[in-house]
Amino acid sequence: MKTDRFKPTTVYTIYIASTPEKVWQALTSAEFSRKYFFGNAVEVDLKAGGAYIVRQGDGSVHISGEVIECVTARKLTVTFNVNWPELVEKLGPTLVSYEIEPAGEAVRLTMTESHDRPLDDDILSGGRQGWPAILSSLKSLLETGEPLVIQMAPPQRMLAALKRIGIKTP
């Protein structure tokens, strides 16, 4: 899949006292991700074209996509499509890229969310609300051994915007 037409809409950078390998493991393992990703488990086949799945606690698939680029402990780019009917048809695919770089004794993790067409800020607000929470929790998990318990309200602005364009959300 050609990714040049994708443009970044949300970028989040966080520094973590850990190693690139541990951060990579946290991003790609079901066991770790369940702890910081609101109970969702990441299942990924780490090769170009491999499946990328985020499974909810009840076993249902919440997000699905494929691996676009995979460099162990350095870079992971996936398509990241929430499984709501007509979402991809109406809004296009979502690309998520994680870059891991050493920064002294810490690691810099940069998450970039990109889209292939301009999207309303209301639509993007869901991700903008979620990413800082997910990545803050990942950082705490790696540094203290415990994730953060963040009771996040559903992203109302985004849900209302999706409803307006006819996308049914749970």
Q: Is 151 in the site for other proteins (CB under 8 A)?
A: yes
- Token pair for residue 107? 């690691």
User: What whole-number distance in Å separates Cα of residue 90 and Cα of residue 164?
Assistant: 12
Residue 42: CB minimum distance to other proteins, A: 20
Secondary structure of residue 47 in the 3-state scheme = coil
Residue 80: CB minimum distance to other proteins, A: 20
Q: Which of 133, 157, 159, 169 binds other proteins (CB under 8 A)?
A: 133
Q: Is 143 in the site for other proteins (CB under 8 A)?
A: yes
Distances (CA, A) of 14 to 125, 131, 141, 166, 169: 19, 11, 13, 35, 30
Q: Is 20 in the site for other proteins (CB under 8 A)?
A: no
Give the DSSP H/E element, type plus range, for residue 43.
strand 41-44
Q: Which stretch binds other proteins (CB under 8 A): 6-14, 21-29, 65-73, 86-94?
A: 6-14
Is-contact 43 25, C-beta < 8 A? no
Task: Provide the binding-site residues for other proteins, judged by CB under 8 A.
Answer: 12-17, 102-106, 108, 132-133, 136-137, 139-140, 143-144, 148-151
